[in-house]
Amino acid sequence: MVRYSLLVVYIVYMLLKNMKQLFNQTMLDPRLSYKKQMTLVYEQPKAFLEGCIDISGSVVTIHQPEPIPHGPVLYVHPRLRLAELALIAGYIEEPAGFIANPKVFRLPFIGQWLDRMDVISDGDSEKVYEDVTKQLEKGQSLILSLDGSIDPVELAARYHLPLVMVETKGTDNMQKGSFFKRLKPADIELSFSKAYIPANEKQLRA
């Protein structure tokens, strides 16, 4: 219960602290490349997500057999929830976009950050696919779910993009209780597969 209360305090504190930062992010030099702009924009959110994990007292172990390729990459999780998204987005080296529930964009301040981060609003499949391809064309990596509105394997094959399967263990152990939530330390594992391009593979889903 204490850790959960600390997390709430941390979230409120970071939101208030970063209001000025958000204003500064809207004034980035337009001459910068899209990837460079997103690197600057994602600095604070990535630190925030890492902080949320740290407050739980959890230890994160990362398994990565080889370096992630340069350029746009599709990070694919079997079933992406908020905890898994926070873990992946917070710990990968390069910024990566993702798809979020439209309701989240209505939240004060958080919605503004999501807009600035070019987070894609879920909904109409054609519009989502269009937004996804636009980000990929700009060189932005994406975090997708196998059970999401976009088929990441088909997307990677069509655009000849490297796909990295991501597995997480231990995130379910961080939060206990139903009514009175409490955080507890957990041993969390974040595993990245070797990158591959589905167009060159016959067996896509192991």
Q: What is the mean pLDDT of the chain?
A: 81
- The C-alpha atoms of residue 15 and residue 48 are separated, in whole angstroms, by 9
pLDDT of res. 183: 66
Q: Which of 80-84, 111-115, 163-167 has the lowest mean pLDDT?
A: 111-115
For residue 14, pLDDT over 90 is answered with no
Tell me the per-residue pLDDT of 47-58, one tens digit each, with 9 for 90 and over: 877 877 777 788
* Pair 60, 89: CB distance under 8 Å: no
For residue 171, what are the contacts with CB-CB under 8 A and spacing of at least 6? 81, 83, 84, 87, 186, 188
For residue 15, pLDDT over 70 is answered with no
Residue whose token pair is 């152990």: 173
More confident residue, 180 or 22: 22
pLDDT of res. 145: 96
State mean pLDDT over 81-88.
Answer: 90
For residue 8, pLDDT over 80 is answered with no
pLDDT of res. 52: 76
Tell me the per-residue pLDDT of 138-183, one tens digit each, with 9 for 90 and over: 999 999 999 998 999 999 999 999 999 999 999 887 766 543 455 6
pLDDT of res. 74: 97
For residue 29, pLDDT over 80 is answered with no
Q: Which two tokens stand for residue 105?
A: 């964009």
- The C-alpha atoms of residue 81 and residue 172 are separated, in whole angstroms, by 11
Q: Return the H-helix or E-strand segment holding 5.
A: helix 2-17
Tell me the per-residue pLDDT of 91-101, one tens digit each, with 9 for 90 and over: 998 999 999 99
